[in-house]
Amino acid sequence: MKAMRSRGLYGQRLGDIFSLKTAPAFATRTLRKTDIAVTEIRCDAENNGLTKPIPREDALLVTLQLRDCPRYDLWLDDKPVTTGPLEAGVTCFYDLRRNPIANSISPFHSLQFYLPLQALNLLADADGKQHVGDFNDNPGHAVNDQTIRGLGYSLLPAFARPNEACQLFVDHVTIALAAYVLQTYGVGEISPLNPIGGLLPRQERLVKELLAANLDGNVSVSQLARLCGLPVTLFSRAFHKSARMAPHQWLPYHRIDSAKDLLRRTKLSLAEIASICGFTSKSHFMRAFMRAESASPAVWRDRSED
């Protein structure tokens, strides 16, 4: 994956707020050079202390707890807020316009989704919604939101193996989470979205050509959307209607198909095929091929020659 810029409150900038040495993150470029991002924040020590002051910003932090956090203190706009214990799997919302400061008493582990209001409003424009002005949330107490939990947990393998993470998949999840937060917790009236069909044949061909030229997944949903002249959310729906799957799901299928073609008609080594087809390593290729074909690449090649 490409090196990630650190402009908003994510990555090591967010890690510094919690006095952490490392804070791995993934960022997604949406529209008009606006980033949304997700950062893994983890501290196994008790009494980590107060977070550093956060400059006020038109943005929201959506925090998915990955472990129980029984005790912590919270201030908003320099006023104490009543808090309750946080269980693994629950979600809290922090409006960065309100200067949130936390006192970390218990160890903590979470995914922190950074959602600038500019990005949320671009999604609102695409879906025919009003711009968000506020959120239905109570930051001192969590909500048990299964959708946010499912989306967040789907990113854990990417944090476990960042070198094998697919940018398309990260984009898909973070944009889906942002759109869901906007619809479910954003305050504003919703107007109906005009019906939309699939991509035009030319659009679908151009998108698949760009995906095929970047089998390593180093292409963003916003790049694909711009290629079609569509907003991100409308592009994602149109692609899914045309291809019956999301771009990040189409890419692994094409990787495997490309690998099978090379296995069938060349004598290239497995390491060479892995590199050509966008896998991060030979072992990554072998694991993905085994999942898709229930056979190793070597066994599949032998069978194809029979």
Same domain, 219 and 299: no
CB 102 within 8 A of CB 83: no
pLDDT band for 2, please (50, 70, 90 cuts).
Answer: very low
Same domain, 235 and 282: no
Same domain, 19 and 134: yes
**pLDDT value of residue 189:** 42
How far apart are the C-alpha atoms of 212 and 260, rounded to whole Å? 14
**pLDDT value of residue 220:** 87
User: With 90 as the cut, is the pLDDT of residue 235 above it?
Assistant: no
Same domain, 132 and 97: yes
122-132 pLDDT, tens digit each: 888 777 677 78
Question: Residue 4: inside a domain, yes or no?
Answer: no
**pLDDT value of residue 31:** 59
- Domain with 239 in it: 201-244
Q: Percentage of residues in the chain with pLDDT exceeding 90?
A: 41
Question: Residue 89: inside a domain, yes or no?
Answer: yes
Question: Residue 7: inside a domain, yes or no?
Answer: no
Question: Residue 1: inside a domain, yes or no?
Answer: no
Please compute the mean of the pLDDT values over residues 105-133 and round it to a whole number. 86
pLDDT band for 39, please (50, 70, 90 cuts).
Answer: very high
266-287 pLDDT, tens digit each: 889 999 998 888 888 899 989 9
CATH number of the domain that 300 lies in? 1.10.10.60
Same domain, 226 and 296: no
**pLDDT value of residue 33:** 66
130-162 pLDDT, tens digit each: 778 778 777 778 999 999 999 999 999 999 999
Same domain, 22 and 113: yes
User: With 60 as the cut, is the pLDDT of residue 182 above it?
Assistant: yes
Same domain, 57 and 167: yes
User: With 50 as the cut, is the pLDDT of residue 195 above it?
Assistant: no
SS3 of the chain: the string is CCCCCCCCCCCHHHHHHCCCCCCCEEEEECCCCCEEEEEEEEECCCCCEECCCCCCCCEEEEEEECCCECCEEEEECCEEECCCCECCCCEEEEEHHHCCEEEECCCEEEEEEEEEHHHHHHHHHHCCECCCCCECCCCCCCECCHHHHHHHHCCHHHHHCHHHCCHHHHHHHHHHHHHHHHHHHECCCECCCCCCCCCCHHHHHHHHHHHHHCCCCCCCHHHHHHHHCCCHHHHHHHHHHHHCCCHHHHHHHHHHHHHHHHHHHCCCCHHHHHHHCCCCCHHHHHHHHHHHHCCCHHHHHHHHHC
Same domain, 218 and 178: no
The two tokens of residue 146 are 């299964």
The two tokens of residue 232 are 């991100």
Across 59-63, 95-99, 238-242, 272-276, the highest mean pLDDT is recorded for 59-63
In the chain, the number of structural domains is 3
Greater confidence (261 vs 136) lies with 261
Same domain, 206 and 93: no
Question: Residue 2: inside a domain, yes or no?
Answer: no
Same domain, 109 and 28: yes
160-169 pLDDT, tens digit each: 999 988 989 9
CATH number of the domain that 87 lies in? 2.60.120.10
Task: Determine the length of the chain.
Answer: 306
The two tokens of residue 60 are 């929201």
Please compute the mean of the pLDDT values over residues 66-74 and round it to a whole number. 94
Same domain, 157 and 290: no
Q: Percentage of residues in the chain with pLDDT exceeding 70?
A: 92
Please compute the mean of the pLDDT values over residues 74-100 and round it to a whole number. 91
42-63 pLDDT, tens digit each: 999 999 999 998 888 989 999 9
Question: Residue 34: inside a domain, yes or no?
Answer: yes
pLDDT band for 193, please (50, 70, 90 cuts).
Answer: very low
**pLDDT value of residue 125:** 75
Same domain, 233 and 297: no
pLDDT band for 194, please (50, 70, 90 cuts).
Answer: very low
**pLDDT value of residue 30:** 64
Mean pLDDT for all residues in the chain: 86
Question: Residue 5: inside a domain, yes or no?
Answer: no
Question: Residue 77: inside a domain, yes or no?
Answer: yes
**pLDDT value of residue 188:** 58
Across 62-71, 129-138, 233-242, 254-263, the highest mean pLDDT is recorded for 62-71
